[in-house]
Chain A
Amino acid sequence: MSAPALWIFFPIALGGLLSLLRNQKLITLVAGIVCAFLAITALLLPIDTPLAVQALTFKLAPSFELLGRRLTLTNSDRAWLALLYGGSAFWFMAASSIKIARRLIPFGMAITGFLVAALAVEPFLYAALLIETAVLLAIPLLSPPDKKPGKGILRFLIYQTIAMPFILFSGWLLAGIEANPGDLMLVARSATLLGLGFALLLAVFPFYTWIPLLTEEAHPYVAGFILWIFPTVTMFFGLGFLDRYAWLRDAAVLPSILTTVGVLMIFTGGLLAFFQRHLGRMMGYAVIAETGFSLLGLGLGGSYGLNTFLLLCIPRVIGLALWSLALSNLLEHAPSLTLDNLKGAGRIWSFSSTGAILASLSLAGAPMLASFPAHQAIWDGLARQSLAATTWVFLGSLGLAISAIRVLTALASAPEGSPWGVRETWSQRVFLLIGWLLLFLLGILPSWAASFWARLPSLFEHLGQ
């Protein structure tokens, strides 16, 4: 058996099969167990190493050849495989509690499979085509048949589709650079096209306008999933480029570009979140700021920068999943997620309200919560380089924190004598409680998240060395 068959073809095929089922709980159970199994096998099972289980000996082959191209997953890929499938299991398991499993899981499984294929394919230029396939699969997920597609979904489609030609063309240019490394014009053209492609894929400033529109229009849980998986995969895809090409990795301007873009995204994300009156849009701007923190972490350079980037990955999935789940529950109570519509909702939707506030505070980097250790490490590293940049980042984080406090005020401001109660179902309460606990646990014991990456084989050969 080959590793791509297990982590790519199997989830895609299962996504197709699950689309035929109607029972939400069965779909959730199967997808949750399979994703958890894939995450655990990624954690425990070495690739390309013979394993003996009593009389049975087997080996996971690293490559699978398809029409002359190869899908390759090696031991160094196990960490991100575990992250992607572990994160997907986390998302899928809570889906039936908000009755969205039939829509999310079949497409979600296929999207995860295609995105893993994008990270595994050689030559890498095919990755752009596989990512675009995942984008096209996300369209029916984001836009239900009974609702006219809004600007956010259309812009998502436009920006992600336009990114594909840039990556494809830069793939051709990078092959030229390998043959002729001294051609500076070719290097400059390739870096520009690659940068533009990634800026569009990652929704980097100023190409992020679709994110708040999408989180306002689409179902919060679906939007959250898309805004978790696409940027995470794009980041690892981009890091693969940095690891592979020394001229790109060692470019003197790269840290300053990453830092500047990261600071801009955090500041504008935080500032615009501060002015929002829609909780979905607030989540969108928090995602923008979170991408900014990831870029800022990478901009710090070396192993320190890479470690802070990796430290952000787990808190992001937990924070975003909890926030999306909480907003999905609140949407059952109110016609929309505006602050006016949700006034006093905290009294009867206390688990969801607490979840939304904790998640927003965590993504803002509040102490004791999951994102704080990574944010603190980034602050520390950035303050050693530039106090001005640190101030802008502080202002952005402040904007996010104040927006969380505004949400708290709105959710808590019920008229005198309003009844107290808990409207969430038992399954919703359990998933929300798990989210709260994980946010606190990772905030208090950040070494758990760090040990996840440390125990697995190194992700990159050159990067962070």
Chain B
Amino acid sequence: MVIVNWVAFGLTFAAASGILLRRDWRWNIGLLAAQYLGLFWLVQASWSTSLAAVKLVTGWMICAALGIAHINAEEETTVESSWPQGRLFRLAVIGLILTVAFAGGVGLGDWLGMPLPVAWGGLLLISMGLLHTGITVQPFRVVVGLLTALSGFEVIYAAVESSALVAGLLALINLGLALAGAYFLSHPPEKEQS
């Protein structure tokens, strides 16, 4: 069980890092689906498997909704103009986030009685998601960042709240965010650089 927690942590870390590094939406949606698999296992450390499966089902529904919306959308030609675009920069930030998550995760795990990989996984997802929303102006990537940050929060919140109603409402909020992302994708893209 402990080893599987570490595997799930590794999976979420790899998926969240991949989302940050890759620009292709197909890769992003595939990695988001993998991230929800990791999320399911991390939440399962606190909840029953049947309740934790809600996260997985919701997550994969989100990926399906975003994927379908992307297939029907015109290709985005806008280039990000605000932040450094280099992969090295992003790798450096991921390293920084990993350090901060490791530092904070120990205290959080002790406080909430969570296994260390679960606390680290939660903090890592929150930090990666927030970073993602902070360095992009592309609506699809903003929504993916928000979904990642909410996933991290859900890992931590699962340790303190096991209400099925909260789980259901959070799933609805996640689906609503995905619908907002799909709605944004249905807008005509900007042809020139913003």
A119-152 CB contacts (< 8 Å) to partner B: 125-126, 129, 132-133, 136, 139-140, 143, 145-149, 151
Interface pair A139/B180, CB less than 8 Å apart: yes
A149 to B138 alpha-carbon distance, docked (Å): 9
B146-189 CB contacts (< 8 Å) to partner A: 146, 149-150, 153, 156-157, 160-161, 165-166, 169-170, 172-173, 176-177, 179-180, 183-184, 186-189
Nearest CB on B from A301, distance (A): 33
Asked if A165 is at the interface of the complex by the 8 Å CB criterion, the answer is yes
Interface pair A126/B133, CB less than 8 Å apart: no
A136 touches which one: B156, B177, B184, B188 (CB < 8 A)?
B177
Contact partners of A126 in chain B: CB under 8 A: 165-166, 169
Contact partners of A161 in chain B: CB under 8 A: 146, 149-150, 177
A33-75 CB contacts (< 8 Å) to partner B: 67-69
Interface pair A169/B187, CB less than 8 Å apart: no
Interface pair B187/A148, CB less than 8 Å apart: yes
Task: Please tell me the number of chain B residues within 8 Å of chain A, measured between CB atoms.
Answer: 31
Asked if A164 is at the interface of the complex by the 8 Å CB criterion, the answer is yes
Please classify how large the interface on chain A is, using the bins under 10, 10 to 19, 20 to 34, 35 or more. 20 to 34
B189 touches which one: A139, A148, A165 (CB < 8 A)?
A148
Interface pair B137/A69, CB less than 8 Å apart: no
Interface pair A154/B139, CB less than 8 Å apart: yes
Asked if B190 is at the interface of the complex by the 8 Å CB criterion, the answer is yes
Contact partners of A136 in chain B: CB under 8 A: 173, 176-177, 179-180
Asked if B130 is at the interface of the complex by the 8 Å CB criterion, the answer is yes
Known: A136-B173, A154-B142. Contact between A165 and B180, CB under 8 A? no
A169-228 CB contacts (< 8 Å) to partner B: 169, 172
A158 to B172 alpha-carbon distance, docked (Å): 17
Interface pair A165/B153, CB less than 8 Å apart: yes
Which residue of chain A is the closest to B82 with respect to CB atoms? A151
Interface pair A149/B139, CB less than 8 Å apart: yes
A40 to B130 alpha-carbon distance, docked (Å): 44
A172 to B162 alpha-carbon distance, docked (Å): 11
Interface pair B150/A147, CB less than 8 Å apart: no
Known: A136-B176, A157-B142. Contact between A165 and B188, CB under 8 A? no
Interface pair B157/A169, CB less than 8 Å apart: yes
A168 to B154 alpha-carbon distance, docked (Å): 11
Contact partners of A158 in chain B: CB under 8 A: 133, 142, 145-146
B173 touches which one: A67, A69, A129 (CB < 8 A)?
A129
Interface pair A164/B184, CB less than 8 Å apart: no
A191 to B94 alpha-carbon distance, docked (Å): 30
A162 to B172 alpha-carbon distance, docked (Å): 16
Interface hub of A68, A132, A145, A147 (most chain B Cβ within 10 A): A132
Nearest CB on A from B82, distance (A): 9
Known: A67-B165, A154-B139, A158-B142. Contact between A129 and B187, CB under 8 A? no
Interface pair B173/A132, CB less than 8 Å apart: yes
B190 touches which one: A69, A132, A148, A154 (CB < 8 A)?
A148
Contact partners of B177 in chain A: CB under 8 A: 136, 161
Contact partners of B150 in chain A: CB under 8 A: 161, 165
Nearest CB on B from A183, distance (A): 12
B51-82 CB contacts (< 8 Å) to partner A: none
B180 touches which one: A69, A145, A157, A164 (CB < 8 A)?
A157
A145 to B189 alpha-carbon distance, docked (Å): 11
Interface string of A343-360 (1 = CB under 8 A from B): 000000000000000000
Contact partners of A148 in chain B: CB under 8 A: 187-190
Interface hub of B165, B186, B190 (most chain A Cβ within 10 A): B165
Interface pair B130/A164, CB less than 8 Å apart: no
A149 to B143 alpha-carbon distance, docked (Å): 12
Contact partners of B142 in chain A: CB under 8 A: 154, 157-158
Interface hub of A126, A129, A164 (most chain B Cβ within 10 A): A129
A146 to B190 alpha-carbon distance, docked (Å): 11
Known: A69-B165, A147-B187, A148-B189. Contact between A133 and B157, CB under 8 A? no
A133 to B183 alpha-carbon distance, docked (Å): 15
Contact partners of B153 in chain A: CB under 8 A: 165, 168-169
- Top 8 closest pairs, chain A to chain B, by CB: A136-B176, A165-B153, A129-B169, A139-B180, A172-B160, A148-B187, A154-B142, A158-B133
Can you identify 27 A-B contacts, CB atoms within 8 angstroms?
A: A69-B165, A125-B166, A129-B169, A132-B176, A133-B172, A136-B179, A139-B180, A143-B187, A145-B186, A145-B187, A146-B188, A148-B188, A148-B190, A149-B139, A151-B137, A154-B137, A157-B146, A157-B180, A162-B149, A164-B173, A165-B153, A168-B153, A168-B157, A168-B161, A169-B156, A172-B157, A172-B161
Point out residues on A near B: beta carbons under 8 Å.
67-69, 125-126, 129, 132-133, 136, 139-140, 143, 145-149, 151, 154, 157-158, 161-162, 164-165, 168-169, 172
Given contacts A129-B170, A168-B157, 11 further A-B contacts (CB under 8 A): A69-B165, A126-B169, A129-B169, A132-B176, A136-B176, A136-B177, A145-B187, A146-B187, A157-B142, A169-B160, A172-B160
